[in-house]
């Protein structure tokens, strides 16, 4: 099978390279497997688009507009196989009119597709509970080159947080947990829409927390490795419960000690991270420096063995072959 001629990996945002889930869940495996990448915008005509490329199978990464459903319907009519990827989506009860429309479109897309893909076991369980479809689980891959583990976690703490603006509320939540304790923390924040974040944080009495805000960039790993600890707070809501592990994997892979909020589906990382209240995690690492370093070393081995680009791409290759034979 010539993947380059017969398969299209489709993105529906104008700038897929700046969307982390697109990079580690689409662009990187597509490049590894030499699959042609195409952007399909809302202004494009689905039939003209498909007839121009004549694929045998399309992989539709996370849909950013409703016309993706029209593209899938046209592909079905042309007997083109479809694999659809659902990030941050579990098909639960919509909470607004806007989400209702996305719910309808995504549910139609899921039912049209020959196979659907999610990033975690939890997401697969929720999709099956809500719409009765079984999903294939293919995780995001490691984005950055592995870095040697931190040798010592010094105090005052050097901490980093990275994420898109959609996660700013979780950062605020994590900072509030740090403020429950009396620690001196130098917190490096790597994100987009920094001005929006500053407005959210202005209402906090940061006391002993010194902030450094850095615009999201492709070389942010070089900023992360200047710190000893990465914090990844989560809010236990319908949106975060189906998120991928990409930030956790990247943090461990960069050799930083990682503190994660305690959600059931994240406990698979408890041997490699601290799971729980962010402030409590800082207290733990201050008292257990050597144990923290051992967790980092053990975590590095785990993520390299399970989430490197070769391993994840092989899973994609297998699913594509199976779908073409259906």
Element (H, E) at 289: helix 289-306
Between CA 157 and CA 278 the distance in angstroms is 13
Q: What are phi and psi of 239, to 5 degrees?
A: -80, -45
Domain ranges of the chain: 3-141+309-325, 157-306
Residues 6+ apart with CB under 8 A from 324: 1, 56, 57, 81
Using alpha carbons only, what angle is made at residue 248 by residues 193 and 194, rounded to the nearest 5 degrees?
Answer: 10
Res 317 pLDDT > 70:
yes
Give the pLDDT mean for 91-103. 66
Give residue 283's pLDDT: 97
Between CA 323 and CA 314 the distance in angstroms is 14
More confident residue, 9 or 243: 9
Quote the tokens at residue 118.
Answer: 């999610």
Give the pLDDT mean for 181-204. 90
pTM of the entire structure? 0.91
pLDDT digits 0-9 by tens, 112-140: 999 999 999 999 998 999 899 999 999 99
Buried b (16+ CB within 10 A) or exposed e, 236-258: eeebbbbbbbbbbbbbbbbbbbb
HSE, CB side, 13 Å, CA atoms: give it for residue 114.
20
Between CA 79 and CA 152 the distance in angstroms is 57
- For the chain, what's the residue count? 326
In terms of CATH, what superfamily is 3-141+309-325?
Answer: Glycogen Phosphorylase B; (3.40.50.2000)
> In the block, which residue shows the tokens 């063995």?
305
Give residue 2's pLDDT: 67
Res 314 pLDDT > 80:
yes
Compute and round to an integer the Cα radius of gyration of the chain: 21
pLDDT-based confidence at residue 99 (cuts at 50, 70, 90): low
pLDDT-based confidence at residue 93 (cuts at 50, 70, 90): low
Give residue 100's pLDDT: 64
Res 90 pLDDT > 70:
no
CATH number of 157-306: 3.40.50.2000
Give residue 120's pLDDT: 93
Give residue 72's pLDDT: 96
Range from 11-15, 87-91, 166-170 carrying the lowest mean pLDDT = 87-91
**Is 232 in contact with 249 (CB distance < 8 Å)?**
no
pLDDT digits 0-9 by tens, 197-214: 888 888 888 889 999 999
3-141+309-325 with 157-306: one CATH topology? yes
Quote the tokens at residue 306.
Answer: 């399970």
pLDDT digits 0-9 by tens, 141-161: 999 999 999 999 999 999 999
More confident residue, 270 or 101: 270
Largest distance between two CA atoms of the chain: 63
Between CA 54 and CA 314 the distance in angstroms is 24
Between CA 206 and CA 171 the distance in angstroms is 13
Nearest alpha carbon to residue 174 among 164, 184, 159: 159
């Amino acid at each position: 099978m010539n993947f380059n001629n017969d398969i299209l990996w489709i993105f529906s945002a104008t700038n897929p390279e700046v969307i982390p889930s697109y990079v580690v869940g689409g662009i990187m495996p597509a490049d590894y497997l030499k699959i042609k990448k195409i952007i399909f915008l809302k202004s494009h005509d689905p039939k003209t688009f498909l007839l121009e490329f004549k694929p045998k199978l399309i992989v539709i990464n996370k849909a950013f507009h409703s016309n993706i459903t029209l593209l899938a319907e046209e592909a079905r009519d042309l007997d083109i196989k479809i694999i659809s990827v659902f990030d941050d989506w579990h098909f639960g009860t919509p909470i607004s009119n806007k989400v209702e429309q996305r719910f309808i479109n995504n549910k139609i897309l899921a039912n049209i597709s020959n196979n659907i893909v999610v990033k975690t076991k939890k997401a697969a369980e929720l999709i099956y509970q809500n719409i009765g479809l079984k999903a294939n689980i293919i995780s995001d891959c490691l984005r950055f080159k592995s870095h040697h583990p931190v040798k010592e976690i010094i105090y005052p703490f050097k901490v980093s947080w990275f994420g898109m603006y959609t996660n700013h509320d979780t950062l605020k939540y994590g900072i509030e947990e740090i403020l429950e304790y009396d620690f001196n923390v130098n917190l490096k924040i790597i994100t987009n829409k920094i001005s929006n974040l500053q407005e959210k944080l202005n209402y906090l009495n940061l006391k002993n927390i010194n902030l450094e805000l850095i615009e999201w960039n492709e070389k942010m790993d070089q900023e992360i490795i200047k710190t000893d600890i990465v914090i990844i707070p989560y809010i236990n809501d319908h949106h975060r419960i189906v998120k991928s592990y990409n930030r956790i994997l990247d943090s461990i892979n960069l050799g930083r000690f990682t503190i994660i909020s305690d959600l059931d589906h994240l406990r698979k990382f408890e041997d490699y991270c601290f799971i729980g209240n962010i402030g409590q995690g800082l207290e733990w690492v201050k008292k257990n420096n050597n144990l923290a370093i051992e967790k980092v070393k053990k975590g590095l081995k785990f993520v390299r063995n399970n989430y490197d680009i070769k391993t994840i791409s092989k899973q994609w290759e297998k699913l594509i072959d199976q779908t073409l034979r259906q």
